[in-house]
Every structure is written in structure tokens, then in C-alpha cells.
């Protein structure tokens, strides 16, 4: 067995897992604060990154574009809360899910209507002078002689961003008063309103924050892949990630991402021959999640299902 190759595969898997986690965080944030399964996360990513890329392409500088794009996402979040979520508070969660499907459809049309449906690339190193954005990878053999693999610096950058987002959000939910009230809201909208939690305000904040997270994730995805319609499909891969991690767990988002990322790479190498066909990564992640959920229906770190008649 070629250990170096295996390590390379594992590292590659971990890095693509981080990319899934970035999307998953947004999902979990909304779910944890309102019980809503936000299907529009993928299109938010597309909309945010497309807005940003189109602005930089039109000659606006990096920070201004970032600022404007973040502003647009905040406005979008607040408007979503006001006109989609607020009127539907305390409704059946299935109805809320459907509403986010509607939101996703709208946004998919909207972002391509006002911008375009072309494929855009993004190279952040052109704007930012951060060592980690340098396209040249790290040669691990320089540091560890026998480890002859490459690690793109950008992947380390993405991991740092994802890691810090998760630490901040986990702290927010577990230790602050607002975090506590958000967890309460996800359990029972009506009771939360009755004890005086201002649903509207906290949801507007959560949607705005999710919009900004979508922008961050969108930029990283854009750098690694590209900005186009396919982003939405790539984001569908985040579904098994959050389901493995547990819908209510912020750390679950990252662990789930890593599990899927690594599992997918290993599956591609060791199982593709068994199935006699290429492209098993199309469904392999879903099967992994499925196997996992059959044994643990609430995901790895998800809240236990409390069922009483």
C-alpha cells in the first residue's frame, strides 16, 4: 500500500470537506434558529458570489465590492424575513421548507436575470496580498522529506475561515442570551413569541448573518471552482453533510463535511471498480449519509428526538 498516496487522498478529501462545511454552516444557522430547513442556501451562495464577481469585473475594487455585496446580502436577508418568513411564523415546517424552495427558485431566476448565466472565475490573489492566497501550493516534501504531496495554500485559508466561523457561532449559540433564545425559537415558535422573544428582530439578524456567510462561502467556492449555475448543484452535496452532522449542530457541520469529503475520495478510489462505472461520487455521499442515518437518525451531534404522545 502506498501510504503517501493515501495521505494525499485523505488531505484532498479533508479539503473538499471543508468546502462542503462552509455551505453547511449556513444551513445549520437557519435551522438552529428557526427550525426552518433553508433550501435557498445554495442560491444565496450563487447570488452573493455572482454579485461580487460582476462588480469586480466592472472595475470596482475588492473591498468596495465586498462591502456592497455584503450590504446587498443583508438587505436580502431582512427582506426575506419580512416578506417570506414573518408571515409564515408558526406554520407547518413543511410549508416553511416549501417557501424556501420558492425562495431558491426565485433567486435562481433573479440572480441570472439581473446578472447573467455565464461562468465566471475569481482570483482573489489579484486583489488581496495575503500569503495564503498565493496560487503556488506548499510542497510538503520541503518540510517532511518522505511526504511527497502538494497542499494548495488556498485550502488552508478556506479551512481557517471555516474553523473560525464555527468557533464563533458555537460560542454564540451556547453562551449568549440571544443564542439561547434562538434555540428556543427553533423548538416552538408560538411559545417563543409568548415569552416575549422578538422573533422578527432575531430572525432578521440571523438571515442577514446567513447572507454574509453565504457571501464568504460563495467567494471561496468561486475561487476554487467558479461562479456559475453549477454552484447550486455543488451545494446539493452539502445536504448529506448537514444530515450526517445533525441539523442542529454547528460542529456537526464541519465534522460531517470532513467525513463526506474523505469518504467520497476513498470511495472513488476503492469502490469505483466494484461498481464497474465512473462517477459514483454523484450518489456516494448520499448513500454514506443514508447508512449513517439508519443507525443514528438524528445525525452525529444532532439533538435527540423527543417524542411523547
Partner 1 sequence: MIYRETGNFVTNYFKDREIFPLKFDKVVVILGLLYLFLYVPTTSEYFLSAHVIPILAVGLATVGLNILTGLTGQLSLGTAGFMCVGAFGTYNLMLRVPDALMSLPFALLLSGIFAGLVGVIFGLPAIRIKGFYLLVSTLAAQYFVWWFFNSYAWFLNYESSGVVAIAPKFYDYWGLGNFLGVDMQGYPARYLLALVICIGLSYFAKNLLRSNTGRNFMSVRDRDIAASVMGISVPKAKLLAFFISCFYCGVAGGIYSFLYIGNVDLMIYEVDRSFTILFMLIIGGLGSISGSWLGAIFVYEFPIIFTWVGDFIFQGAFNTAVVENVSNMVYGVFIIALLIREPGGFAALWATTKQKLRMWPYPH
Partner 2 sequence: MSKSLLKVNNIEVVYNHVILALRGVTLDVEEGKVVSLLGANGSGKTTTLKACSNLLHAERGAITKGSIEYQDKDIANSDAYNLVKDGVVQVLEGRHCFSHLTVEENIMTGSFIRENSKEAKQDLERVYDHFERIRIRKKSLAGFTSGGEQQMIAMGRALMSRPKLILLDEPSMGLAPQLVEEIFAIVKALNKEGVSFLIAEQNAMVALKYADEGYLIENGRVILKGKAQELLDRPDVKEMYLGVGAEGQTSFRDIKYYHRRKPSFT
Strand partners, 151: 138
CA distance between the termini of the chain = 54
- Select from 116, 118, 187, 273 the one that contacts partner 2 (CB under 8 A): 187
CB 27 within 8 A of CB 257: no
What cell does 89 get? 411564523
Q: How far apart are CA 149 and CA 143, in angstroms?
A: 11
CB 72 within 8 A of CB 66: no
CB of residue 82 vs partner 2: minimum separation in angstroms?
Answer: 13
- Select from 54, 189, 237, 265 the one that contacts partner 2 (CB under 8 A): 189
Stretch that binds partner 2, among 59-67, 155-163, 186-194, 254-262 (CB under 8 A): 186-194
- Select from 1, 94, 136, 190 the one that contacts partner 2 (CB under 8 A): 190
Name the one residue in this structure whose C-alpha cell is 442556501: 41
Residue 181, contacted partner among partner 1, partner 2, none, CB below 5-8 A by kind: partner 2
Residue 239 binding partner 1, by CB under 8 A? yes
CB of residue 268 vs partner 1: minimum separation in angstroms?
Answer: 13
- Select from 2, 129, 142, 177 the one that contacts partner 2 (CB under 8 A): 177
Taking CB under 8 A as the rule, which mask of x and - marks residues 11-50 in contact with partner 1? --------------------------x-------------
Residue 206 binding partner 2, by CB under 8 A? no
**Beta carbon nearer to partner 1, 124 or 234:** 234
Residue 236 binding partner 1, by CB under 8 A? yes
Q: Which of 183, 179, 163 is nearest to 253 (CA)?
A: 163
Long-range contacts (CB closer than 8 Å, 24 or more residues apart) made by 77-85: 77/204, 77/206, 77/207, 77/208, 77/209, 77/210, 77/211, 78/204, 78/207, 78/208, 80/207, 81/200, 81/203, 81/204, 81/207, 82/200, 82/204, 85/34, 85/36, 85/203, 85/207
Rg (CA), the chain: 20
Residue 176 binding partner 2, by CB under 8 A? no
Strand partners, 138: 151
Q: How far apart are CA 62 and CA 126, in angstroms?
A: 9
Residues that bind partner 1 (CB under 8 A): 37, 83-84, 87-88, 91-95, 97-99, 101-110, 112-113, 117, 233, 236, 239-240, 243, 247, 275-280, 282-283, 286-287, 289-290, 293-294, 297-299, 305, 307-309
Residues that bind partner 2 (CB under 8 A): 89-90, 177, 180-181, 183-184, 186-201, 248, 303-304, 306, 308
Amino acid at each position: 500500500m502506498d501510504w503517501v498516496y493515501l495521505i494525499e487522498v485523505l488531505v484532498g478529501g479533508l479539503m473538499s470537506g471543508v468546502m462542503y462545511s462552509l455551505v453547511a454552516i449556513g444551513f445549520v444557522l437557519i435551522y438552529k434558529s428557526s427550525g426552518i430547513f433553508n433550501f435557498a442556501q445554495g442560491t444565496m451562495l450563487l447570488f452573493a458570489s455572482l454579485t461580487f464577481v460582476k462588480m469586480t469585473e466592472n472595475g470596482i475594487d475588492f473591498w468596495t465590492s465586498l462591502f456592497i455585496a455584503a450590504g446587498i446580502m443583508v438587505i436580502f436577508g431582512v427582506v426575506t424575513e419580512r416578506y417570506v418568513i414573518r408571515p409564515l411564523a408558526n406554520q407547518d415546517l413543511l410549508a416553511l421548507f416549501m417557501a424556501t424552495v420558492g425562495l431558491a427558485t426565485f433567486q435562481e431566476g433573479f440572480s441570472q436575470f439581473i446578472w447573467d448565466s455565464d461562468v465566471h472565475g475569481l482570483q482573489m490573489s489579484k486583489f488581496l496580498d495575503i500569503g495564503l492566497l498565493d496560487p503556488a501550493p506548499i510542497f510538503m516534501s520541503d518540510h517532511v522529506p518522505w511526504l511527497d504531496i502538494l497542499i494548495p495554500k488556498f485550502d488552508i485559508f478556506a479551512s481557517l475561515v471555516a474553523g473560525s466561523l464555527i468557533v464563533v457561532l458555537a460560542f454564540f449559540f451556547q453562551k449568549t442570551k440571544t443564542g439561547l433564545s434562538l434555540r428556543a425559537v427553533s423548538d416552538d415558535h408560538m411559545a417563543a413569541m409568548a415569552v416575549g422573544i422578538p422573533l422578527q428582530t432575531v430572525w432578521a439578524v440571523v438571515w442577514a448573518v446567513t447572507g454574509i456567510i453565504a457571501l464568504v462561502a460563495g467567494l471561496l467556492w468561486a475561487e476554487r471552482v467558479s461562479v456559475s449555475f453549477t454552484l447550486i448543484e455543488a451545494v446539493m452535496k452539502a445536504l448529506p453533510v448537514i444530515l450526517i452532522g445533525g441539523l442542529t449542530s454547528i460542529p456537526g457541520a464541519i465534522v460531517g463535511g470532513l467525513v463526506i469529503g474523505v469518504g467520497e475520495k476513498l470511495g472513488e478510489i476503492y469502490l469505483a471498480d466494484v461498481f464497474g462505472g465512473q462517477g459514483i461520487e454523484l450518489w456516494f455521499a448520499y448513500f454514506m449519509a443514508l447508512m449513517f442515518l439508519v443507525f443514528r437518525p438524528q445525525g452525529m451531534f444532532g439533538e435527540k428526538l423527543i417524542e411523547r404522545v
